DNA sequence: ATGAAAGCGCTAACAT
DNA sequence: ATGTTAGCGCTTTCAT
């Protein structure tokens, strides 16, 4: 086995050139072709080129990616930054979709993906510096509300695209929160529901806000009464107030719970099972996201499917456009779909 | 908003030095401290240092990560390579665990993580070249059987550690497949089972093989009869033969199905539900992995929990050791735990 | 306590 | 068709 002493004794372009008896530049061009407009292939004779390629193969030459990146000012690396803490927990279906989209997007453009680590205990400036340090060519951002790093990115040179939530000054890719909420309100009204408990997010963010407001509006248009509830977002368990409503007098009891996001709905379903509340007989439940897991769930949830993978892939596409100095639309909205399960 | 024209007009160390009226080197040391043994902080007077730091702040100086990496021969990037095709689908709980472990591990060592894209249509040599190009300092490998890239990595300078399966020549981190299988066999024998249907993998790989052989051995020791079944691994649906066994004459019907991996078990459970076969009354089911999802599952599976996240984190630790030229053990095995659910 | 020089591996621009 | 020169931004070594 070879020594594991580092890349130092790897052959360089100079080594190849020397071994083939040509100049460094000749080797460079023979192996990777000229970058600029360049006068076609006439630069190097086919014989020399073949000899150089063969020499490179023999020596086991692999170009130094860092030197290349240094020279070209291009790393072929796309980064991902999430405002929600350091960890990108891929067990969350939303994150899994995002990661999958990042990968597919990067693969399509022959880029590699960088997930940052160790931002946890860093200051805004340190994180920002790391992002714009030139390590990556572009960035997909999952913005959290009022994130100062995201604010700085808006004014930076770094090509960046936001997903899931709009950010003023950054091109964003989102799902049709408004359309989805309307779809849901209309469906529930048709099914004969008159009173809805709407569970929303405690953190004020663009997308949940849009969903809530547009649901309220659509509900009003359908004569649906809506009670808004704010469970603790970390656990999403059923609050005392919610429990009281569901077990209270029939004439003020909601017949359906709409959750701003599927995870909240699943947590609610689990609590219903725990309290012996039957779904959908006692209460119907609907979500928003369209989570799919490999593990067959307890219930097939009625929900609005949001194409997060596609959203993220699209964001990567836009980042590539920006990198190549093309214009991109400030907002891209992808359509959603109503999925009728067995819970509502 | 600033122009998005690239990093070119970012201030360099020279700019900072010039603005502060000092030499480049002085600025370098003031901002990042001397790398080598170096004679403490006496190098630069506190006054100069402060002035330089202040100047850097004013100019919005951020060091060029690529130039740094070029100089230091160190990118602070850890890569991940999977032999199983290009896509690292984070929806698979195993992959989610691995990704999570990679992130946590990288975070602990202040490294960033690179997920490769676009290896799909590349040759062994191209993939290998990309891996050893210097873009990353070290690599975590999820080896697939007889993968030529993995073979080449064994002989390369690149610090690399395998997970889940051992690879000759590479330090590996695995789970205790043998112990887990014994745990399961013993548990099932105690529960009074006498005939087991064992579902295994169609691809011949180290870890599944270990599980199967050690289960067979432990089963024999407990007078358990084992029938081995090889469902099509992509779908994992119940085969005709399996169905025949489960609905056939009682005296040759297995009382429990053991699946080499949880996903196979869940697929089997879904099929049982479909055919009206009751679990665990008609047939008990057990798995291996200990998948946990956010969505409450149909059944709480009896299984052996394998700590894949910890395995991967450990692999990152070892990669860091290798990078720093320390010795690491050729094999690390992490303990597993029997999880008694409601299916067996 | 600070400065000057050299060079990491590569390619664009300008010779020949 | 090929060679020479210069330099990307940074740190290490050796002067001062």
Which residues in chain A, range 25-44, keep a C-beta under 7 Å from any nucleic strand D atom? 25-26, 42-44
User: Is A301 in contact with A265 (CB distance < 8 Å)?
Assistant: yes
CA-wise closest residue to B315 among B130, B92, B141, B94? B141
Judge if the beta carbon of A12 is closer than 7 A to nucleic acid strand C. yes
Judge if the beta carbon of B45 is closer than 7 A to nucleic acid strand C. yes
- The Cα–Cα gap between B4 and A159 comes to 7
User: Is A259 in contact with A303 (CB distance < 8 Å)?
Assistant: no
Distances (CA, A) of B319 to A4, B28, B78, B85, B169: 12, 29, 8, 23, 14
pLDDT at B5: 64
- The Cα–Cα gap between A312 and B108 comes to 27
pLDDT at B9: 82
Residue B320 burial (CB count, 10 A): 22
Instruction: Give which of B117, B266, B299 to mutate to test A binding, by max A Cβ within 10 Å.
Output: B117
Closest Cβ–Cβ partner in B110, B134, B295 for A7: B134
Contacts of B121 in chain A (CB under 8 A): none
Judge if the beta carbon of B44 is closer than 7 A to nucleic acid strand C. yes
Judge if the beta carbon of B71 is closer than 7 A to nucleic acid strand C. yes
Each residue's pLDDT expressed in tens, for chain B with a length of 344 residues: 455 567 778 899 999 999 999 999 899 999 987 665 444 456 788 888 899 999 999 999 999 999 999 999 999 999 999 998 766 889 888 999 999 999 999 999 999 999 997 787 789 999 999 999 999 999 999 999 999 999 999 999 999 999 999 999 999 999 999 999 999 999 999 999 999 999 998 877 888 899 999 999 999 999 999 999 998 877 889 999 999 999 999 888 999 999 999 989 999 999 999 999 999 999 999 999 988 877 778 889 999 999 999 999 999 999 999 999 999 999 999 999 999 999 99
- The Cα–Cα gap between A220 and A214 comes to 10
Distances (CA, A) of A224 to A156, A246, B333: 46, 17, 58
Distances (CA, A) of A155 to A77, A149, A327: 21, 10, 16
User: Looking at strand D, which nucleotides approach a protein CB closer than 7 A?
Assistant: 1-5, 7-13
Q: What are A120-125's contacts with CB under 8 Å, separation 24+?
A: A120/A85, A120/A86, A120/B107, A124/A148, A124/A149, A124/A152
User: Is B195 in contact with B206 (CB distance < 8 Å)?
Assistant: no
- The Cα–Cα gap between A32 and A63 comes to 10
Judge if the beta carbon of B213 is closer than 7 A to nucleic acid strand D. no
Judge if the beta carbon of B52 is closer than 7 A to nucleic acid strand C. no
pLDDT at B166: 95
- Collapsing DSSP states into helix, strand and coil, what is residue A261? coil
CA-wise closest residue to B278 among B230, B316, B246? B246
DSSP string spanning A138-202?
Answer: EEEEEPPTT-HHHHHHHTSSS-EEEESS-BTTB-EEEE-HHHHHHHHHHHHHHTT--EEEEE--S
Burial class (CB in 10 A: 0-12, 13-18, 19+), B102: buried
- The Cα–Cα gap between A303 and B17 comes to 59
Judge if the beta carbon of A68 is closer than 7 A to nucleic acid strand C. yes
- Between chain A and chain B, the number of residue pairs with CB atoms below 8 A apart is 247
Nucleotide nearest residue B15, measured CA to C1': D9
- The Cα–Cα gap between A28 and A251 comes to 80
Do B296 and A291 count as a contact with CB atoms less than 8 A apart?
no
Do A296 and B64 count as a contact with CB atoms less than 8 A apart?
no
| Min distance B223 CA to chain A CA atoms (Å) | 32
Residue with CA nearest to C2's C1' atom: B26
Judge if the beta carbon of B70 is closer than 7 A to nucleic acid strand C. yes
Sheet strands (E) in chain B = 77-82, 112-115, 138-142, 160-163, 172-175, 195-199, 225-229, 256-259, 284-286, 303-305, 331-334, 337-339
User: What confidence tens digit (pLDDT) does each residue in B287-344 have?
Assistant: 999 888 777 788 899 999 999 999 999 999 999 999 999 999 999 999 999 999 999 9
Cα A251 from chain centroid?
43
Residue with CA nearest to D11's C1' atom: B71
CA-wise closest residue to B143 among B328, B343, B315? B315
Distances (CA, A) of B96 to A270, B31, B319: 23, 38, 20
CA-wise closest residue to B88 among B115, B120, B56? B115
Nucleotide nearest residue A62, measured CA to C1': C9
- The Cα–Cα gap between B64 and A141 comes to 21
pLDDT at B3: 54
Do B114 and A112 count as a contact with CB atoms less than 8 A apart?
yes
Nucleotide nearest residue B33, measured CA to C1': D11
What is the enclosing helix (H) or strand (E) of A285? Answer: strand A284-286
User: Is A267 in contact with A235 (CB distance < 8 Å)?
Assistant: yes
Each residue's pLDDT expressed in tens, for chain A with a length of 344 residues: 445 567 778 899 999 999 999 999 899 999 987 655 444 456 788 888 899 999 999 999 999 999 999 999 999 999 999 998 766 889 888 999 999 999 999 999 999 999 998 787 789 999 999 999 999 999 999 999 999 999 999 999 999 999 999 999 999 999 999 999 999 999 999 999 999 999 998 877 888 999 999 999 999 999 999 999 998 877 889 999 999 999 999 988 999 999 999 989 999 999 999 999 999 999 999 999 988 877 778 889 999 999 999 999 999 999 999 999 999 999 999 999 999 999 99
At B31, list the tokens. 């901002």
Distance B26 CA to D15 C1' (A): 15
- The Cα–Cα gap between A287 and A295 comes to 18
CA-wise closest residue to B102 among B306, B311, B312, B334? B312
The per-type count for chain A, helices as H runs and strands as E runs, is 12, 12
Residue with CA nearest to C3's C1' atom: B23
For residue A299, what is the nearest residue in chain B, using CA coordinates?
A: B298
């Amino acid at each position: 086995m070879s020594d594991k002493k580092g890349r130092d004794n790897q052959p360089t372009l100079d080594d190849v050139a020397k071994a083939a008896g040509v100049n460094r530049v000749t080797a460079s061009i023979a192996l990777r072709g000229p970058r600029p407009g360049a006068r076609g292939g006439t630069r190097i004779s086919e014989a020399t080129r073949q000899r150089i390629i063969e020499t490179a193969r023999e020596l086991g030459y692999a170009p130094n990616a860092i030197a290349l990146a240094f020279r070209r000012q291009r790393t072929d690396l796309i980064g991902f930054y999430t405002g929600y803490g350091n960890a990108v927990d891929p067990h969350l279906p939303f994150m899994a979709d995002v990661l999958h989209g990042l990968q597919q997007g990067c693969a399509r453009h022959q880029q590699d993906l960088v997930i940052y680590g160790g931002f946890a205990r860093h200051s805004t400036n340190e994180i920002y510096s790391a992002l714009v340090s030139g390590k990556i060519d572009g960035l997909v951002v999952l913005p959290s509300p009022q994130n100062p790093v995201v604010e700085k990115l808006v004014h930076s040179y770094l090509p960046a695209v936001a997903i899931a939530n709009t950010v003023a000054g950054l091109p964003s890719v989102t799902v049709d929160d408004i359309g989805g909420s309307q779809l849901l309100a209309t469906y529930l009204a048709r099914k004969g529901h008159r009173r809805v408990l709407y569970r929303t997010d405690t953190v004020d963010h663009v997308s949940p806000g849009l969903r809530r407001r547009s649901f309220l509006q659509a509900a009003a248009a359908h004569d649906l009464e809506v009670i808004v509830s704010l469970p603790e977002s970390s656990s999403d368990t059923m609050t005392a107030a919610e429990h009281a409503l569901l077990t209270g007098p029939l004439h003020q009891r909601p017949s359906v719970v709409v959750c701003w996001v599927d995870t909240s709905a699943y947590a609610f379903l689990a609590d219903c099972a725990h309290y012996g509340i039957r779904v959908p007989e006692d209460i119907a439940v609907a979500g928003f996201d369209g989570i799919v897991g490999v593990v067959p769930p307890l219930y097939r949830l009625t929900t609005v499917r949001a194409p997060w993978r596609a959203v993220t892939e699209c964001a990567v596409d836009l980042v590539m456009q920006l990198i190549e100095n093309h214009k991109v639309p400030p907002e891209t909205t992808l359509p959603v779909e109503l999925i009728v399960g067995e819970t509502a």
